[in-house]
Structure 1
Amino acid sequence: MNRRSILAAGASLGLLPLSGRSARAQEWPSRPVQLVVPSSPGGSLDTLARLLSEGLRTPLGQTVVVENRAGAAGAIGADYIAKSPPDGTRFLFGAVHHAILPAVQHVPYDSANDLTPVTGIGGSPNALLVPPSLPARSMPELVSWMRAQPAGSLTYATGGPGGLHHLTGAMFARALGIEMTAVHYRGSAPAINDLVAGRTTLMFETLPSAAGQIRGGALRALAVTSAARSPAFPDLPTMTEAGFPNIQMETWYGLFGPKNTPDAIVQRLRGAVAEVLATPTIQAAWTQNGVAGGGEPVATFTAFWRNELTRWASLAREAGMERE
């Protein structure tokens, strides 16, 4: 089953009524719930987490607070959750980056066993972005311009070493046969700011992080990395259409608890998320940001998570970024 099928199945199942929950699940949460965003404010994780946290207050009957714990491409926030007590008070607003990390660097937790998958939040294509000052308005123009530049002068911004931005940029450089230097930042927001200022050549970034800059003209998007064009930006070609069929990937988002988080709590949170994702307000916000899907059952998301760990380990090897 591919990722779109998984998300579609999850969306259809997400509206089924919850039943048979234990008293413990009914009593939870008795305290505010913390959503840990492993990136700086302003990135796609932060944007979506804050929208979701507001929506979750009603079905959970409790305050849901977003806390940013940025650094190490998301590993700092994930490690914090992995080492937190499994009492239902803290959850990781994670993403595809957390499936990539163990493939490209050593992390201080066991990705497969120290995090409890809850459910997906949706998925979004990444966009290849350049500053308006760069004289390229299409992928062919960009490729031609890049090939004419002096060796060692091209750079690409990332939200941190070992993340999706880094891996995608490395794959693009490899496909072109051009040397490009990765410039790492502590999250997407500062990376985007420097790209807008023209301090780096390009960046692969998720649509929720860059949609405002694209629509406002602060950044120019040339292509998306999804299998199909994005409904939010239907005029943008896919990387496959642009001649790069191997650069086909999406950023997915999901919730994780610490290891041994009680299943009753996990199931109730998953049900609340599915309820929120079905509301017109969130659906409109997700569409505006180029995000779709989410809310799949716990078992489905768990299987998806384990498959992603395997898939990205293989892709890291192909890109020459496998950890030593």
Structure 2
Amino acid sequence: MPLASSLPFASRLLRRTFAAGMLLAAAGLAAAQPAGTPIRLLVGFPAGAGSDAIARVLAEKLKDELGTNVVVENRAGAGGQIAAQALKAAPADGHTLFLTHDHSISILPQVTRNPGFDPASDFTPVAGFATFANVLAVSGATPAKTMQEYVNWVKTAKGGKDTIGVPAPGSIPVFLVQLIAKKYGIDVQAAPYRGSAPMTADMLGNQISSGIASVPDFIEYQKQGKVRIVATIGAKRDPLLPGVPTFTELGFQNLTDYPWYGIFAPVGTPQPVVDRFGAALQKVLAMPDVKKKLTDMGLNVAYEPQGQFAGRVRTYTQTWEGIIKASGFQPQ
């Protein structure tokens, strides 16, 4: 058959193949997410914590974009481990997703002997939506307004010893406490809590003098003058805290990678479902009111599609793997 006469047939075949593929994808998506079926958005921390507040801002808007209810489900405990295990156990049908920050995915598997999940084989990254900074804050009862003033206070008023609250055992704040102790020659120990909310409550009640958590956990209390943030992780100063130096400015090494927030699905979740949720999230993040709310909470809002987000998670995990190993920490 001459080439010229074969082109119309090839064109028709290509169009039919494409149309059939689109129908199959749509059918698969419909089967995975029946109309009106709620989506569970797992959060590994209690109501009132920073992650919970962030999830509720997003869920309210996502339900309109997805045409179904998005229900925030708090599976608090063990620094997000319980929620991660729940995600692993959930069907890969798009009805269950996990909103989390870096700790549950990048850190827990390195500091826990049997976490009950493997992010690389059990989860599918959906999208990233923000970065933030971990910070050291002192309570209003302490006289310190800077890191050096805090160190001097510990040396003079506390006999060189103090406890610093952290949201979970084996978390990045634990290793930051170790780095602070080593750099300044003071005996400070991490006091692990079950989440940032009870830790912050003890700071506000002057039960502990200081704590390390994320900007979203402290920012409102910072604005009210109830805590004072004295140092932040990151390559540059946080826009919400222009007067607060970074740990790097204070002479610490390897503390420039920002922690992140993102969404994960069970492995095997159909790609059309992942893409649909990612597209909805991108639209929601572009809404001025949503962006303002999240920014006011201390987040640097930026949508990251699946591939870019997966790369961020890998790089961040590798950075902290080196720090954790150098600390001599043994998985527990």
Alignment TM-score > 0.5, same fold: yes
- Residue 232 in structure 1 maps to residue 240 in structure 2: yes
User: What is the aligned counterpart of 1:36 among 25, 31, 42?
Assistant: 42
1:228/1:238 contact within 8 Å kept: yes
Deviation digits for residues 48-96 of structure 1 (CA, Å, limit 9, x no counterpart): 1111111101110111111111111111111110121111111111111
Q: Secondary structure of the equivalent of 2:83?
A: helix
Calculate the TM-score normalised by the size of structure 1.
Answer: 0.88
For residues 206 and 274 of structure 2, the distance between their equivalents in structure 1, rounded to whole angstroms, comes to: 44
After the TM superposition, which of the residue ranges 147-156 and 275-284 deviates more from structure 2? 147-156
User: What is the aligned counterpart of 1:304 among 294, 312, 322?
Assistant: 312
After the TM superposition, which of the residue ranges 104-113 and 244-253 deviates more from structure 2? 244-253
One-letter code aligned to 1:130: V
User: What is the aligned counterpart of 2:205 among 197, 203, 212?
Assistant: 197
Calculate the TM-score normalised by the size of structure 2.
Answer: 0.86
One-letter code aligned to 2:328: G
Residue segments in structure 2 that go unaligned for 5+ positions in a row = 1-20
Who is 1:96 aligned against?
102
Who is 1:285 aligned against?
293
User: What is the aligned counterpart of 2:266 among 258, 278, 281?
Assistant: 258
Deviation digits for residues 239-293 of structure 1 (CA, Å, limit 9, x no counterpart): 2223334443432111011121111111111111111111101111122122123
Deviation digits for residues 287-314 of structure 1 (CA, Å, limit 9, x no counterpart): 2122123321112212222333322221
User: What is the aligned counterpart of 1:116 among 118, 124, 127?
Assistant: 124
Map 1:173-184 to 2 at 5 A.
173-184=181-192
One-letter code aligned to 2:26: S
Compared with structure 1, are the counterparts of its residues 248 and 143 closer, same or farther at alpha carbon in structure 2 (3 Å cutoff)? Answer: farther
Compared with structure 1, are the counterparts of its residues 312 and 286 closer, same or farther at alpha carbon in structure 2 (3 Å cutoff)? Answer: same
User: What is the aligned counterpart of 2:77 among 68, 71, 81?
Assistant: 71
Who is 1:135 aligned against?
143
* Deviation of the 1:150 alpha carbon: 4.7
Map 1:45-84 to 2 at 5 A.
45-84=51-90
User: What is the aligned counterpart of 1:23 among 21, 27, 51?
Assistant: 27
For residues 124 and 75 of structure 1, the distance between their equivalents in structure 2, rounded to whole angstroms, comes to: 21
Residue segments in structure 1 that go unaligned for 5+ positions in a row = 1-18
* Deviation of the 1:177 alpha carbon: 3.1
One-letter code aligned to 1:298: Q
Q: Secondary structure of the equivalent of 2:145?
A: coil
Query: Pairwise CA RMSD of aligned residues?
Result: 2.0
For residues 246 and 300 of structure 1, the distance between their equivalents in structure 2, rounded to whole angstroms, comes to: 22
2:133/2:215 contact within 8 Å kept: yes
Give the percent of matched residue pairs that are identical in Structure 1 and Structure 2: 33
* Deviation of the 1:149 alpha carbon: 4.9
For residues 209 and 238 of structure 1, the distance between their equivalents in structure 2, rounded to whole angstroms, comes to: 17
Compared with structure 1, are the counterparts of its residues 42 and 219 closer, same or farther at alpha carbon in structure 2 (3 Å cutoff)? Answer: same
User: What is the aligned counterpart of 1:313 among 304, 307, 321?
Assistant: 321
One-letter code aligned to 2:144: A
Compared with structure 1, are the counterparts of its residues 139 and 152 closer, same or farther at alpha carbon in structure 2 (3 Å cutoff)? Answer: closer
Compared with structure 1, are the counterparts of its residues 29 and 60 closer, same or farther at alpha carbon in structure 2 (3 Å cutoff)? Answer: farther
* Deviation of the 1:233 alpha carbon: 1.9
One-letter code aligned to 2:28: R
What is the number of residues matched between the two proteins? Answer: 306
2:165/2:210 contact within 8 Å kept: yes
Q: Which structure: larger Rg?
A: 2
